[in-house]
Amino acid sequence: MKFSSLMAITLLIVPTLAADQAWGQASDQSSPNATRGTGDLGLVIERASGSLLVIETSERTALGRIEGLGDLSHASAVFSRDGRYGFIFGRDGGLSKVDLLARRLVRRVVQSGNSIGGAISQDGRLVAVSNYKPGGVKVFDAVNLDLVANIPAQASDGSGLSKVVGLADAPGQRFIFSLYDAGEIWVADFSDRANFKLHKYPNIGELPYDGLITGDGHYYIAGLFGEDGMAMLDLWRPDLGVRRILDGYGRGEEKLPVYKMPHLEGWARAGDVIFLPAVGRHEVLVVEPGSWREVGRIPVHGQPIFAVARPDGRQVWVNFAHPLNDTVQVIDVPSLKIIHEFKPGKAVLHLEFTPRGEQVWISVRDADRVDVYDTESFQRLTSLPAKKPSGIFLTARANRIGL
Amino acid sequence: MVSGHFRFRRSGGEARFAGLWDAIEWPAIVRMCTMAFSTMVLTAGLANSAWAEGNISAQRQQELLYLLQQDCGSCHGLTLKGGLGSPLLPINLAGKPDAALVEVIMQGLPGTPMPPWRFLLEEKEAAWLVWALKTGQTMKATP
């Protein structure tokens, strides 16, 4: 009796010890089965090969690759709240769920002909995808990717289905998004999952091309391609409707050609102001939230694509559209001056800071490389090979509204 | 000479850009382009690959294909089956006059995000791209 219970205990303990020892020794990160947390993990989209690189930012290495995700041009990712699973939104309408620890594809559904992005709900149980074709939003169960709701983006004026852009999650189990062709903002409230409610705001302006939600979930802003201005919805006062902000920021001047649409999702709130890429102008706009007054504009190298704040808000890093996309500029927030400029290589597509901002990861598509920089010394810390990398997404996004 | 080539059907008082290709009044464009373009371009026959390839170095052709896939692809999709911009597969372009397509590339489509590429491309390069699109060269190219 005694002997057998001792055996049982030994059998239980030994494997645990073995695993712990393996970790203590060499941190065997190459093994997908090793026990580890997920807080320093991330995904790099390899857009042309339909694959993802799983990275970790502590030792700055690639842990492995997940393949078979289809057309990943313009793909983006959100994470489950435990940081273990990533949901990837591919251009070909594919919604994929991947396991970052096991480094494998869990499930993939092709849910439309052509999609552009997605979001995960406040409680982490719903994943929404915005589609170009057929235009609308589909909402899925985050566990098994079963369809929960289909929301065709039927324009209010009866002109048909609209492409959907700028999809973000908002507090109160809401998803908010913009109708590109129709010029509308819609809010879908899923607090009662089986009977979701839809609130529509028509006539917000011409051609909303992307949207952002502030990190406190207070404001949703849609950029308008067809106008010199942006559309803003105060989610604490939705009864006030959508208002125009920064009206006429282009001062009616002729726009410069835009060879790539700016992204607002990487919007930057730093200190008391927000930094936004202008459209058709080689400028970053500096805006005071609340009053929505323009407090400055910073001339930059080209058409800005992403203007991303370092998490402490002291710096804003900017990349640019084709053909000036080999350059990154760093704006010092207190002085609103460019304090650093460098050329990582051709086609810098995305930048992502580590959660506390000591490193920034930069994808250099044409060099097939992801570079890691120190954000104080601006020194390159390392480079990792990646196949035509585009978006870089770290699991810290799991805990942030709007990401 | 450029502006005013494209007219859009309007509904509900707002310009509608959905289904842009269908909305363009093609015969009008052909008329304008016939006037605007030199006879050289039209008579050379843009769909003639020998002509198109003969004027552009092999290296430049590879660069153009890369541009098509990666940069045009940011709006039209990496596989060119469409995104914010229209699909550009051979089946979508079949029957569209070459000269009008060259015009769209070089001058852009006012009122839409399609930018004028004349600052970055020569006209013969746009003509080569039209040939490459219509004959599906991007599908044969290695990424």
Is position B5 within any domain? no
Model confidence at A279, in pLDDT bands (50, 70, 90)?
confident
Q: What's the rounded mean pLDDT across residues A375-402? A: 96
Q: What's the rounded mean pLDDT across residues A177-181? A: 96
Model confidence at B16, in pLDDT bands (50, 70, 90)?
very low
Q: How many CB atoms lie within 10 A of CB A124?
A: 17
**3-class SS of residue A134:** coil
Cα torsion through A186, A190, A191, A194, rounded to 10 = 140
A73 CB near a chain B CB, below 8 Å?
A: yes
Domains recognised in chain A with CATH numbers: 39-83+344-403 (no CATH), 111-258 (2.130.10.10), 261-341 (2.40.10.480)
Q: Quick one: how many helices (H) and strands (E) in chain A?
A: 1, 32
User: What is the Cα–Cα distance from B53 to B64, expressed in whole angstroms?
Assistant: 12
Is position B119 within any domain? yes
Shortest alpha-carbon distance between residue A360 and chain B (Å): 23
Extract the tokens encoding A79.
Answer: 């994470």
Extract the tokens encoding A269.
Answer: 């709130």
CATH code where residue B124 lies? 1.10.760.10
Cβ within 8 Å, pair A91-B71: no
When CB atoms are compared, the residue of B14, B71, B78 closest to A322 is B71
Cβ within 8 Å, pair A133-B82: yes
Cβ within 8 Å, pair A114-B77: yes
Amino acid at B71: D
Query: Which residue on chain A is closest to B75 by alpha carbon?
Result: A260
When CB atoms are compared, the residue of A114, A180, A365 closest to B82 is A114
Tell me the per-residue pLDDT of A84-95, one tens digit each, with 9 for 90 and over: 999 999 988 899
Angle CA(A291)–CA(A294)–CA(A299) in degrees, nearest 5? 160
Q: Which residues of A129-148 are buried (b: 16+ CB within 10 A; e: fewer)?
A: bbbbbbbbbbbbebeebeeb
Q: Which residues make Cβ contacts (< 8 Å) with residue A63, sequence separation at least 6?
A: A29, A30, A41, A54, A55, A56, A103
Nearest to B80 by CA among B26, B135, B27, B139: B139
Is position B2 within any domain? no
Say if CB B129 and CB B138 are below 8 A apart: no
Say if CB B29 and CB B52 are below 8 A apart: no
> What's the number of domains chain B is made of?
1
Tell me the per-residue pLDDT of A148-176, one tens digit each, with 9 for 90 and over: 999 999 999 888 999 999 999 999 999 99
Q: What is the pLDDT of residue B25?
A: 46
A191 CB near a chain B CB, below 8 Å?
A: no
Model confidence at B31, in pLDDT bands (50, 70, 90)?
very low
Residues of B in contact with A160 (CB under 8 A): 18
Is position B113 within any domain? yes
Task: Dihedral sign for Cα B115, B118, B119, B124, please.
Answer: positive
A49 CB near a chain B CB, below 8 Å?
A: yes
ipTM over 0.85: no
Is position B132 within any domain? yes
Q: What is the pLDDT of residue A302?
A: 95
Query: Which residue on chain B is closest to A387 by alpha carbon?
Result: B143
A258 CB near a chain B CB, below 8 Å?
A: yes
Amino acid at B143: P
Q: What is the pLDDT of residue B127?
A: 94
Is position B33 within any domain? yes
Domain range enclosing B14: 10-140
Tell me the per-residue pLDDT of B59-112, one tens digit each, with 9 for 90 and over: 999 999 999 988 898 889 888 888 889 999 999 999 999 999 999 999 999 888
Cβ within 8 Å, pair B12-A226: no
Cβ within 8 Å, pair B113-A206: no
User: What is the Cα–Cα distance from A231 to B22, expressed in whole angstroms?
Assistant: 29
Query: Which residue on chain A is closest to B121 by alpha carbon?
Result: A323
Sole residue written with tokens 């999702």: A265
B135-142: long-range contacts at Cβ-Cβ below 8 A with a sequence spacing of 24 or more? B135/B47, B135/B49, B135/B90, B136/B89, B136/B90, B137/B65, B138/B65, B138/B68, B138/B69, B138/B79, B138/B80, B139/B79, B141/B62, B141/B65, B141/B66, B141/B69
User: Length of chain B in residues, anyone?
Assistant: 143
Is position B4 within any domain? no
User: What is the Cα–Cα distance from A202 to A200, expressed in whole angstroms?
Assistant: 6
Rounded alpha-carbon distances, angstroms, from residue A218 to A212, A264, A274, A286: 11, 16, 13, 18
Cβ within 8 Å, pair B14-A180: no
Q: How many CB atoms lie within 10 A of CB A11?
A: 9
Query: Which residue on chain B is closest to A46 by alpha carbon?
Result: B143
Cβ within 8 Å, pair A71-B12: no
When CB atoms are compared, the residue of B18, B108, B143 closest to A388 is B143
Q: What is the pLDDT of residue A31?
A: 63
Q: Which residues does B contribute to its contact with A (CB < 8 Å)?
A: 11-12, 14-18, 69-71, 73-75, 77-79, 81-84, 108, 111-113, 115-117, 119-120, 143
Question: What percent of chain A is helix, strand and coil (3-state, nearest 5)?
Answer: 10, 45, 45
**A residues 2-21 near B, CB within 8 Å?**
none
Is position B109 within any domain? yes
